[in-house]
Structure 1
Amino acid sequence: MTIRQTLRTDGPVLLPGDTGYDEHRKALNPALDPRPAVVVRAESTADVQRAVLGARRHALPFAVQATGHGTHVAHDGALLLRTGAMASVLVDPDRRVARVGPGARWGDVLTAAAPFGLAPLSGSAPDVGVVGYTLGGGLGWLARAYGLAADSVLRAQVVTADGELTTASADRNPDLFWALRGGGGSFGVVTALDFRLYPVTRVYAGAVTFGRERAAETIAFYRRWIERVPDSLSTALLLTRDGSLVVKAMYVGDADRSRALLAPLWTVAGPVVADGMRVVDYAGAAMGGTFARTFDQVRTLDDELVTALVAEPDAAVEIRHWGGRIARDDGAAAHRDAPLSVVLDTVASPTTAAALSRCGLGSSFLNFLHDPSRTASAFTNENWAALRQIKAAYDPANIFGAGLAVPPAATSVSA
């Protein structure tokens, strides 16, 4: 029986040479030119189940793509499941909960939740897929106030490696539920996700630009200043390629209070070149981040690291404040005890790399990671071991092993 005959899905099955195959095989990363054996455009949960079983029957690697933002390897020879058509969004304003399909994007959720005065813990780009972002942890600009997106998940419907549809929640398959909230897509195909919404409508947000002359003094001040700010204020410092120092901020609350909190930092940074802070609808707060070619979390920014970052040649550098609710939740995602992360949009110079090695954790964050060989660095050692055990329980054959995957723990066989 051919793969097309095996699948019998409601959505189209595209083989090489079929109309639409070239359009739907590609990811957003222009460096990738994937050539999957077959592309399945799912329109229902049943389609997802048939795709998983079809891949197993024909011994094909299996990969999932909604928007393609999180695809970092070419899935050559695989069954590629596209879930973009399953983009439903339902909002329960009384419970402050949203339920989304695997193809939903953050813009869809923002639009659906805003009329009720609610907001999700979304990322900085509205066209990013909700499920992939959330399974990878989800570090948004509301994270210090309300936590990572993964920590707000209440329930997931999941197609497991045996093609069965199951539910993961705090009281049903709690081990799978814990793993899904930040452990990535290694444990099944999520076909519905329920998560909390928050009473956020307007925020004071934007960026203030300064010259770079006092960048070192500003970073040195920043590492002390963040110890005193409330969880409702999220900030990052950006050293741009054009020679500017930018302070990005989002505050959930009164603009005057925010400016009072930020004023000492702005004073150290020097004369303002451009002030882009505004009271805006949360859905319209464009707060993009720096592409993470180099990423690490640090417990401290010592003077040598500050000097190295300021002197970093031909790079954009972002220093971001974590902490707050992120550090108080206990989901699978991330190293939560580090107060800061450092991102460069290029490979760090030897001087910066040495300073990061001394101050940093050697960590990554799943949403920012591009190298599958470093997946373990996105988790603490304890959580990585736990994730591997859960993976062995739900997917021992590693059907969901594409991309930034958690491998199953080795199991011993009794004689």
Structure 2
Amino acid sequence: MKRRRTGRKGTGLVFPCTRTMRSAAGRFPWPGEDAGVVDGHLPAAIVPESGLHLPPTGIDRLLGGLPDGYPGPRSPEAVARRLRHQFDGRLHLPGAVGYDAGRLAWRRDLDQQPLLVAEVADAADVARAVITAREFDVPVGVQATGNGTVRPTDDGVLLNLSRMSYVDIDPVRATARVGGGARWGDVVAAAARFGLAPISGSSSALGVAGYTLGGGVGWLSRRHGFAADSLLRAEVVTAAGTRLVASPDDDVDLWWALRGGGGNFGVVTELLLRLYPVGEVYGGVAYFPGERAGEILACHRDHAADLPDELTTALTLLRLPDGPAVPGPLRGRTVVALRVCHTGPVARGRRALAPLLAAAGPPLLGGYGPMTWPQTSALDDPQPGPQIVREHTDLFRGMSDELIDVLLAEIGGSGASRSPISVIELRHVGGALARPVAEGGPSGHRDATYALIAVAPRLHAAQLSVARGHMAAFARRLRPYATGGVLLNFLSDPSRTMAAYRPADLGRLAALKRIYDPENIFHRNHNIPPGP
């Protein structure tokens, strides 16, 4: 059977742009909540119809003045001059349209200001950019979609991998070979033509590489484990600019570290992922009255150990605004959203879900039924757009009545005492995630039953300090019931990175960091410093 390939590797001209004066605020303005989006994550207002394909103008005049063999000062022009002659992608300097489009993170409070954005065309571009950054002694940041950015790459070289988005499906071997800038939506669509599916993110706009390197928990994870467990091979550019292949047969230590160690060990330019056959799917989303939240949470807790691995559920406490964008039955209410995905016969899925639905009572909106695998990407709709947000995550082995009381108290409240936290999600993990994997990587903590994500969404800059205070107080109330661990991909606070790993794994990761990135140039991430 013929392989299917989507996407392409593009090439383009290198172009600079003159530096422009910043406004009094000194930063690029945040888009409003109603701003348009390009590809689901970039504000359309800052990208003209011509996109990023601008012609080069005045490059020699702009970048002149430095000898070719001398790195010179750490200015955008100097770095671009050093890099431009052997670079097949595009270089975007401050002031260029492509600069703002390429640097923006999903979390809009991370207003990163790199020296330049290197929109790479291939692995050779990545290697040249890394070597150049080392020559100028500046850090390297990496992003494709911006969803996983947790630290700004200020005064460094930001690699944008979005052009490396090819997808190649091998239906015979049930694998997907994807570029470092590919998104899950493209992989899911290509694999579905052959009845296959990856362990993918809840949003089709999420990048494959960052999600997989951080562990990755999706709708198939209770059945097949972490996304990182399905990483068969990776092509990597190290801090030395060396291109390596990491697999069970080549550079085994690096392969181990990549399966959960995040972006600490190099830039992953290509991944080979295992795919899984998916037939019948039963699922959907239903919203239930908030007054039933205690009973729904307690029922899930009581039945969690008996739920089959084929069934994945997420329970979300939502306090919704009273606005026209909210469906009428939910407007201005506190509700429980129950998201369900069962990969197996529909009748079996209905039976597994029956006790929970009996406890929940009639839904206010929504329901469950047969669906295709690509349709599961809609289970988390509507997808939130880029915004200023505060988040907190924890893991729990169970859900005591006391913990339920803490959750309900936080999502409730009224008037001035109302918390800015309006989303609290509990994802049922366990299943295959809890089972050790032979030669498995450092992904996650496998002893948890629930992963919690609390969100204070759509904040304004002036609200950040208040939201931080509320989130810190909520975290303290959760602490007596939490395991102390976290899942890396759910974590937006880089100060808690070490909590994502078991002590033995953390020691091994630090030792490998010393080998592959001893100068720690890849530290604008969930950083693991080099060991002694």
* Contact 1:295–1:363 (CA under 8 A) maintained in structure 2: no
The amino acid across from 2:81 in the alignment is Q
Separation in 1, partners of 2:178, 2:279: 20
Question: Taking structure 1 as reference, are residues 30 and 258 closer, same or farther at Cα in structure 2, changes over 3 Å only?
Answer: same
Aligned to 1:287: 379
Separation in 2, partners of 1:118, 1:244: 34
Q: Deviations over 1:240-296 (max 9, x none)?
A: 113112221100011221111111111112233334212111112112299871211
The amino acid across from 1:188 in the alignment is G
Aligned to 1:145: 223
Separation in 2, partners of 1:238, 1:264: 18
Which one of 275, 278, 295 corresponds to residue 369 of structure 2?
Answer: 278
Question: Taking structure 1 as reference, are residues 50 and 239 closer, same or farther at Cα in structure 2, changes over 3 Å only?
Answer: same
Which one of 209, 217, 223 corresponds to residue 131 of structure 1?
Answer: 209
Where does the alignment leave 5 or more consecutive residues of structure 2 unmatched?
1-67, 69-77, 320-332, 413-418, 457-467
Aligned to 1:227: 305
* Contact 1:292–1:369 (CA under 8 A) maintained in structure 2: no
Aligned to 1:212: 290
Which one of 136, 143, 161 corresponds to residue 58 of structure 1?
Answer: 136
**Shift of residue 189, structure 1, vs aligned partner:** 0.6
Aligned to 1:370: 492
Aligned to 2:353: 262
Which one of 197, 200, 203 corresponds to residue 278 of structure 2?
Answer: 200
* Contact 1:292–1:343 (CA under 8 A) maintained in structure 2: no
* Contact 1:168–1:176 (CA under 8 A) maintained in structure 2: yes
**Shift of residue 89, structure 1, vs aligned partner:** 0.7
Tell whether 2:397 aligns with 1:305.
no
* Contact 1:159–1:188 (CA under 8 A) maintained in structure 2: yes
Aligned to 2:109: 31
* Contact 2:264–2:513 (CA under 8 A) maintained in structure 1: yes
Separation in 1, partners of 2:487, 2:149: 15
Q: Kindly report which structure 2 residues correspond to 1:105-184, keeping only aligned pairs within 5 A, or say none.
A: 105-184=183-262
Aligned to 1:337: 447
Which one of 466, 473, 482 corresponds to residue 360 of structure 1?
Answer: 482
Question: Taking structure 1 as reference, are residues 6 and 202 closer, same or farther at Cα in structure 2, changes over 3 Å only?
Answer: farther
The amino acid across from 1:281 in the alignment is T
* Contact 2:392–2:471 (CA under 8 A) maintained in structure 1: no
Question: Taking structure 1 as reference, are residues 359 and 112 closer, same or farther at Cα in structure 2, changes over 3 Å only?
Answer: same
Tell whether 2:81 aligns with 1:5.
yes
Q: Kindly report which structure 2 residues correspond to 1:308-319, keeping only aligned pairs within 5 A, or say none.
A: 308-312=406-410, 313=412, 314=419, 315-319=422-426
Aligned to 1:413: none
* Contact 1:119–1:201 (CA under 8 A) maintained in structure 2: no
Greater Rg by CA: 2
Separation in 2, partners of 1:327, 1:19: 46
The amino acid across from 2:191 in the alignment is A
* Contact 1:143–1:325 (CA under 8 A) maintained in structure 2: yes
Tell me the percent identity. Answer: 45
Bigger drift between 46-55 and 359-368 goes to 359-368
Which one of 411, 425, 429 corresponds to residue 322 of structure 1?
Answer: 429
**Shift of residue 397, structure 1, vs aligned partner:** 0.8
**Shift of residue 351, structure 1, vs aligned partner:** 7.5
Taking structure 1 as the reference length, what is the TM-score of the superposition? 0.94
Separation in 1, partners of 2:345, 2:125: 48
The amino acid across from 1:306 in the alignment is I
Q: Deviations over 1:138-182 (max 9, x none)?
A: 111110011111110000011111111111011211111111011
Separation in 2, partners of 1:239, 1:303: 16
Separation in 1, partners of 2:99, 2:455: 33
**Shift of residue 127, structure 1, vs aligned partner:** 1.2
Q: Kindly report which structure 2 residues correspond to 1:83-122, keeping only aligned pairs within 5 A, or say none.
A: 83-122=161-200
The amino acid across from 2:156 in the alignment is A
* Contact 1:236–1:247 (CA under 8 A) maintained in structure 2: yes
Q: Alignment partner of 1:214: what SS?
A: helix
The amino acid across from 1:22 in the alignment is D
The amino acid across from 1:129 in the alignment is G
Bigger drift between 2-11 and 284-293 goes to 284-293
The amino acid across from 1:316 in the alignment is V
* Contact 1:332–1:383 (CA under 8 A) maintained in structure 2: yes
| Alignment RMSD | 1.9
**Shift of residue 30, structure 1, vs aligned partner:** 2.1
* Contact 1:114–1:201 (CA under 8 A) maintained in structure 2: no
The amino acid across from 1:6 in the alignment is R
Bigger drift between 98-107 and 8-17 goes to 8-17
**Shift of residue 82, structure 1, vs aligned partner:** 0.9
The amino acid across from 2:345 in the alignment is D
Question: Taking structure 1 as reference, are residues 343 and 13 closer, same or farther at Cα in structure 2, changes over 3 Å only?
Answer: closer
Q: Alignment partner of 1:272: what SS?
A: coil
Q: Alignment partner of 2:197: what SS?
A: coil
Tell whether 2:483 aligns with 1:407.
no
Separation in 2, partners of 1:18, 1:227: 54
The amino acid across from 1:297 in the alignment is L
Q: Alignment partner of 2:530: what SS?
A: coil
Q: Alignment partner of 1:389: what SS?
A: helix
Separation in 2, partners of 1:400, 1:38: 16
Q: Alignment partner of 1:39: what SS?
A: strand
* Contact 1:297–1:361 (CA under 8 A) maintained in structure 2: yes
Aligned to 2:464: none
Where does the alignment leave 5 or more consecutive residues of structure 1 unmatched?
411-415
Separation in 1, partners of 2:360, 2:474: 22
